[in-house]
């Protein structure tokens, strides 16, 4: 049988399979695929047609897991779709079974929304301090004007009114951010200082990062300080990452948080459109067998862990048009958060 005849028979056999299945070379190039597979890969904007190769990022992710183990991959060009893939050995080639699992993640997002509503209660302590300061400033200024019975100089009255307006705007911004964090839907998006967010998070986690236990060092670069997003959503990302580091360590550890400008991972453009914030600890790190599972909901290596901290963090980052990745660094573990850079502070 000639090579051409064998290829034709292969294509005919694949055409009869009513499922998204592809046969790939060890390099990720697609030798043959069913119509359902081509339709699926086109829909999620992975390929336009055959001949084609799978994206290197997807193929590299499949190579990191055991044959027969499923992975989930989000195409950078289509942030809403999620592709589930399982790879099997077939001689010197691989059989790839595919399925779109976006609906499963939509249901997960609804469950995470409930978790975020519960987490809002834990943020009340830090938010209350911020609101109380703004309200106190307004009340003080109003009482000053009332007691002065408008006998103050015009300049003093003008300054007092400006302070009341500034405090009112700060109060409105805090309330809008909190409501945006709590509701399902687009977040309230404003310029946010990472330095201020991390300072609040540090105070919120004082019991985990106190003297003699764990040490937290903040190194936010001035050029990579301001991001675009929701204050409380961003705060929740870093609270979960810092808690995850503290709870994973059995002995005191050092955590360093530092920022720079970088392009989004897994995209062709190399423009530094995002602020990258690395949370790097010198703890036990993440073992290779579980690196692909740590962002999955309800997966935890701790007996009392909920398995939702990292899931909430990555979903929150994605809701702000960013992402969260686990970098290949040692010793310890290094999570990198990518958030859109604030254009107002470029």
- Same domain membership, residue 338 and residue 195: yes
Q: Answer yes or no: is pLDDT of 55 > 70.
A: yes
pTM above 0.95, yes or no: no
Q: What is the CATH number of the domain that holds 344?
A: 3.30.565.10
- Same domain membership, residue 217 and residue 205: yes
Q: Average pLDDT, whole number, for the chain?
A: 76
212-241 mean pLDDT: 86
Single out the residue in 159, 185, 211 at which a domain terminates.
Answer: 185
- Same domain membership, residue 329 and residue 215: yes
Provide the pLDDT for residue 40: 86
Q: Answer yes or no: is pLDDT of 186 > 80.
A: no
Provide the pLDDT for residue 8: 52
pLDDT in tens, 293-338: 677 766 555 555 555 677 778 888 888 889 999 887 777 888 999 9
Q: Answer yes or no: is pLDDT of 244 > 70.
A: yes
Residue pointed to by tokens 């699992």: 101
159-188 mean pLDDT: 65
Q: How many domains does the chain have?
A: 3
- Same domain membership, residue 339 and residue 201: yes
When pLDDT is cut at 50, 70 and 90, the band that residue 91 belongs to is confident
Structure tokens at 110: 């609804």
Provide the pLDDT for residue 3: 44
- Same domain membership, residue 341 and residue 252: yes
When pLDDT is cut at 50, 70 and 90, the band that residue 224 belongs to is very high
The residue that leads in pLDDT, 86 or 114, is 86
Q: What is the CATH number of the domain that holds 177?
A: 1.10.287.130
Provide the pLDDT for residue 108: 63
- Same domain membership, residue 225 and residue 335: yes
Percentage, residues of the chain above pLDDT 90: 11
Provide the pLDDT for residue 193: 92
Q: What is the CATH number of the domain that holds 79?
A: 3.30.450.20
- Same domain membership, residue 268 and residue 344: yes
Single out the residue in 79, 100, 121 at which a domain terminates.
Answer: 100
Domain that holds residue 292: 189-346
Single out the residue in 85, 100, 115 at which a domain terminates.
Answer: 100
> Which pairs with CB-CB distance under 8 Å and at least 24 residues apart come from 257-263?
257/198, 257/216, 257/217, 257/218, 257/219, 257/220, 258/218, 258/219, 258/220, 258/221, 259/194, 259/219, 259/220, 259/221, 259/224, 259/225, 260/221, 260/223, 260/224, 261/223, 261/224, 261/341, 262/338
């Amino acid at each position: 049988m000639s090579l051409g005849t064998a290829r034709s028979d292969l294509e005919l056999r694949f055409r009869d399979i009513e499922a998204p299945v592809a046969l790939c070379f060890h390099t990720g190039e697609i030798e043959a695929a069913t119509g359902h597979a081509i339709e699926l890969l086109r829909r999620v904007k992975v390929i336009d047609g055959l001949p084609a190769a799978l994206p290197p990022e997807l193929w590299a992710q499949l190579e990191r897991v055991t044959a027969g183990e499923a992975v989930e991959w989000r195409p950078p060009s289509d942030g809403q779709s999620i592709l589930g893939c399982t790879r099997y050995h077939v001689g010197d080639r691989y059989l790839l079974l595919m399925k779109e699992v976006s609906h499963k993640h939509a249901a997960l997002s609804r469950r995470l929304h409930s978790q975020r509503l519960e987490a809002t209660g834990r943020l009340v302590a830090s938010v209350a301090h911020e609101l109380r300061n703004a309200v106190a400033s307004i009340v003080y200024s109003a009482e000053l004007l009332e007691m002065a019975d408008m006998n103050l100089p015009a300049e003093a009255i003008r300054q007092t009114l400006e302070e009341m307006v500034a405090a009112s705007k700060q109060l409105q911004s805090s309330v809008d951010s909190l409501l945006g964090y709590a509701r399902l839907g687009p977040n309230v998006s404003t310029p946010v200082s990472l330095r201020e967010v991390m300072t609040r998070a540090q105070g919120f986690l004082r019991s985990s990062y106190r003297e003699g236990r764990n040490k937290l060092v903040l190194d936010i670069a001035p050029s990579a300080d301001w991001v675009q997003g929701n204050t409380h959503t961003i705060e929740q990302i870093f609270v979960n990452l810092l808690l995850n580091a503290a709870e994973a360590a059995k002995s005191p550890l050092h955590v360093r948080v530092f920022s720079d400008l970088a392009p989004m991972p897994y995209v062709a453009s190399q423009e530094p459109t995002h602020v990258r914030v690395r949370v790097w600890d010198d703890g036990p790190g993440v073992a290779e067998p579980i690196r692909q599972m740590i962002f999955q909901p309800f997966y935890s290596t701790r007996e009392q862990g909920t398995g939702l901290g990292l899931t909430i963090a990555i979903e929150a980052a994605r809701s702000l048009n960013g992402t969260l990745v686990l970098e290949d660094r040692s010793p310890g573990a290094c999570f990198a958060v990518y958030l859109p850079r604030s254009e107002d502070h470029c």
